[in-house]
Structure formats: C-alpha cells, structure tokens
Amino acid sequence: MAEDDRCARIYAAVRRVPKGRVATYGQIARLAGLPGRARLVGKALGALKDASVPWHRIVNAAGKISGRSEADSPREQRRRLEREGVRFTPAGRIDLEGYRFGAGADEGAESFRRFG
C-alpha cells in the first residue's frame, strides 16, 4: 500500500469523527484499516494540509493533546475543541469516557443531534 493511500484512509477516518467528539490515534488507525499504527496517524496529521480534515479531534489515549509539529498547534487544537463544546479538565485532559467517538453510548443520539 502506498504511503499516500494510508494518508487518504486516515483522513477519511478522521472525517468520520463528529463535531463535539474526539478519537484517539489508535482508534483512527483502526478505523483506517491500519491497526497498531497509531504513530503513523500522528505523522499523517502532522503533514496535513487539507483544512477539511478535523485533525483537532484527535488526541492520545490519555485524552491529552500531543501536537509536536508546531508550537501553536496544541493551543489551536484545544481552542477548536472547546469551541465545539468539548470540556477540558483543569489538568488539560479530555474525559474520553464522555467524548470519545465510538464509545457506544449515545453514538446514535450524537449523529441525530446534528451540530452546526
């Protein structure tokens, strides 16, 4: 599989994450058909140029922002998430139990609610 194809799959997976929800790198990798390649997802997002991809909805398994590509990224990512209604803990963490995409619970209600 070519590298570009992986990126395309990854971007497609990221686009599936609804507004107001987040997903982990590992989860995106799985959705993209690339299980165990979470770090590749990070690289793909770092090389992202397409503004239509909601890269800010991707955080690590701890519910924290990684962003190493740019100094401004972490701050921008958090700002965007908060703008979508995602709450952060005082420690700068996101409650994955409540915001993680694919957590099962109100998945249907979420897509039904339709933000925007």
Partner DNA sequence: CCTGTGACGTGCT
Partner DNA sequence: AAGCACGCCACAG
**Residue 75 or 93 with smaller CB distance to DNA:** 93
- Please tell me the chain's helix, strand, coil percentages from 3-state DSSP, rounded to the nearest 5: 45, 5, 45
Q: 18: phi > 0 → left, psi -120 to 50 → alpha, else beta; which?
A: beta
Tell me which stretch binds DNA (CB under 7 A): 13-21, 37-45, 78-86, 104-112: 37-45
Residues constituting the chain: 116
Tell me which of 16, 20, 48, 103 binds DNA, using CB under 7 A: 48
CB of 65 to DNA, least distance (A): 8
Site residues for DNA, window 55-74 (CB under 7 A)? 55, 58, 60-62, 66-70, 73
**Residue 18 or 38 with smaller CB distance to DNA:** 38
HSE of 21, CA atoms in CB hemisphere, 13 A: 24
C-alpha closest to that of 54 among 30, 29, 77? 77
**Residue 62 or 113 with smaller CB distance to DNA:** 62
